Amino acid sequence: MDPILLLTQALNGLQLGVMLFLMAAGLTLVFGIMGLINLAHGSLYMAGAYAMAAVFAWSGSFLAGLAAAVAAAALLGVAIEMAALRLLYRRDHLDQVLATFGLILFFNELARIIWGPAAIFVTVPAALSHTVEILPGAPYPAYRLVVIAAGVAVAAGLYLLIARTRLGMLIRAGASNRTMVSALGVDIGRLYTAVFALGAGLAALAGAMAGPILSVEPGMGEPVLILTLVVIVVGGIGSIRGAFAAALLIGFVDTIGRAFLPALLRDLLAPSAANAVGPALASMLIYLTMAVVLAIRPQGLFAARTG
Amino acid sequence: MPRAALWAILLAMAVLLPFAADLAGQGYYVGFATRVAIFAIAALSLDLILGYGGLVSLGHAAFLGIGAYSVGIWTSHGVTAAPVHWATALAAGGLFALVTGLIALRTAGVAFIMITLAFAQMLFFLAVSLKAYGGDDGLTLWDAARLGPLDLSDDRTLYWVAIAWLVLFLLLGRHLVASRFGLVLQGARSNERRMRALGFDIRRHRLLAYVLSGMAASIAGCLLAHMTDFVSPAYMSWQRSGELVVMVLLGGIGTLHGAILGAAVLLILEEVLAGLTQHWMLILGAILVAMALVARRGLHGLLAALRGRR
């Protein structure tokens, strides 16, 4: 197997993995602490991508776009939480599914009204549009390397936030036993809002950074949402560590599978059969991974202890 | 009014609908009503496991796909006998439910939601890879299915066939949930541990419910293919599964007829709103959020509450 191709694809897998982690971290916290299934998490990702595209086009500064995306989505997250989702924490999961499914329809259409149905093209910032030679003869886009670095840095920051600060302590306590936390006199409502804003900001960061790689369009959040749900279930709901491990696992499995499975099958099967089966099997691979993990460990790889 | 009379009137109205549509010169609505009946079957079958079994499946559209591809694959080989299509769909849907159910029922709660989604996604990508049957683009069916002397490409005939299936499944469903089997299923939903302690094999009951539900939804898939003369992987996209869950929730879970009401209301809402504005999804989304916040037990619960207040 070509080592350069393997390295490139491994980096692509890593890049997908850190993006998925940014999405999954917020979703798994909201799920683990508030017990809320938020299908509209993908809408926050989309909001981040659009805010980034708009501010980047207006100001010409990529960093300003990033900051605007995170701020806008955090505000939007707080608004959604206070207006609607707050009323749903104590409800059945099914009511939450209905409400957040409605929110998806609402926000996709809103994006279509404001920015139109066509995809918006976001350029890679000029300073990062070159490629870097990671190995002799193996160029790799600098932008993607920066995305990986940013993702890893945010993951490290999140780890410090959760392991070392008072807010992090409350988050961990909330994830394992929220009734006890509120009984100890913590304003649980404010904690919930803060966690929701944090998750929204992370999702927006993922969306904003994905802008130049994918296309920015209405409905862009849903494919990512499905992958993110796969990640948090594989990782164990409520566990940040699990989300990180599972995000990398799913990122690698998906990227490596798509890159190498068709070629691998061509060695084993007749070419026509391999060409038909290869891409489909590669697309199925992450779901196969999830089904195997859940069948063996229904609570996920790193289950958080929930009360 | 006695309940039996109410049902009889509803059934008579449903059967006579095509004549009313003709009188009003609105033949289009027969096709629309067929759509409602088809999705009502699918929602009804989902309600059996979701409402009575407490098993939330986000992969139910997989069975629509199984049914549709049963029709599509047979038709492309020149077999247009609807009973053959239906028998194949029942067998394939039942088998798929049996195999995936054995694995999925090892989990519960959110993990069950996700594992059913995973199986449906696998089937979706399998259909995409079926290049001989259209792959990603789908497959147009050039020959109409036949039921004995009847031609199912006729709007009215297909409508009555769909209504007949819907009534059959509703009667079967009502019988099932009132039976000992249905009571065990509901008992396990409210207190699984107690039902186990009473000596019931919960997993076997749930598996049977899952298989029956899958078989009924496969028939809905067949009818969908008969109606559209087209089969594509999009029939089993996860959004379609989500839509089915929304129909059941909208109507009110665990009532069976609530699922029919939900399917009808969602499709009519889509139709009416789409006629009003091109941005109808904005309004539909807001209505769904409001329904989730206000009406705790769906439309069925809302109606019951209104009746109680009066």
Structural domain contains residue A180: yes
Closest by CA to B10, choosing from B227, B310, B1, B272, is B1
Q: What is the pLDDT of residue A65?
A: 86
Confidence band of A307 (pLDDT split at 50, 70, 90): very low
Contact A103 B285 (CB under 8 A): yes
Domain total of chain A: 1
State the average pLDDT for chain B: 88
In chain B, the percentage of residues whose pLDDT exceeds 90 is 40
Per-residue pLDDT, averaged over B214-243, amounts to: 91
Q: What's the predicted TM-score (pTM) here? A: 0.85
Hey, which residues 183-222 in chain B have their CB within 8 Å of chain A? none
- Which residue of B106, B122, B282 is in closest CB contact with A106? B282
CB pairs under 8 A between A and B: 134
Among A71-75, A257-261, B65-69, the least confident range: A257-261
ipTM score for this prediction: 0.81
Give the tens place of pLDDT for each residue, A94-132. 888 888 888 998 998 899 888 888 888 888 877 777 777
Task: Tell me: pLDDT of B147 over 90.
Answer: no
Closest by CA to B66, choosing from B120, B116, B138, B104, is B120
- Which residue of A87, A277, A291 is in closest CB contact with B119? A291
- Which residue of B110, B238, B289 is in closest CB contact with A102? B289
Domain that holds residue B157: 3-309
Measure the CA–CA gap between B271 and B267, rounded to whole angstroms: 6
Q: What is the pLDDT of residue B297?
A: 73
| Residue B138 backbone zone (phi > 0: left; psi -120 to 50: alpha; other: beta) | left
Which of B110, B123, B269 would best serve as a mutation to test chain A binding (most A beta carbons within 10 A)? Answer: B110
Structural domain contains residue A134: no
CATH classification at residue B140: 1.10.3470
Per-residue pLDDT, averaged over A68-85, amounts to: 89
Closest by CA to A31, choosing from A237, A202, A303, A299, is A237
Measure the CA–CA gap between A51 and A58, rounded to whole angstroms: 11
Per-residue pLDDT, averaged over B158-171, amounts to: 93
Structural domain contains residue A265: yes
Measure the CA–CA gap between A294 and A26, rounded to whole angstroms: 21
- Which residue of B242, B286, B293 is in closest CB contact with A87? B293
Put simply, whether B121 touches A (Cβ < 8 Å) is: yes
DSSP letter at B132?
A: G
Measure the CA–CA gap between B111 and B106, rounded to whole angstroms: 9
At residue B140, the 3 state secondary structure works out as: strand
Domain total of chain B: 1
Put simply, whether B250 touches A (Cβ < 8 Å) is: yes
Per-residue pLDDT, averaged over B212-228, amounts to: 94
CA distances from B295 to B246, B259, B260, B283, B301 (A): 13, 15, 17, 17, 7
Contact B110 A233 (CB under 8 A): yes
DSSP letter at B107?
A: S
Structural domain contains residue A154: yes
- Buried b / exposed e over A93-124, threshold 16 CB at 10 Å, is bbbbbbbbbbbbbbbbbbbbeebeeeeeebeb
Domain that holds residue A221: 22-119+140-296
Structural domain contains residue A156: yes
Nearest-CA distance B43 → chain A (Å): 15
Confidence band of A190 (pLDDT split at 50, 70, 90): confident
Structure tokens at A200: 């929204």
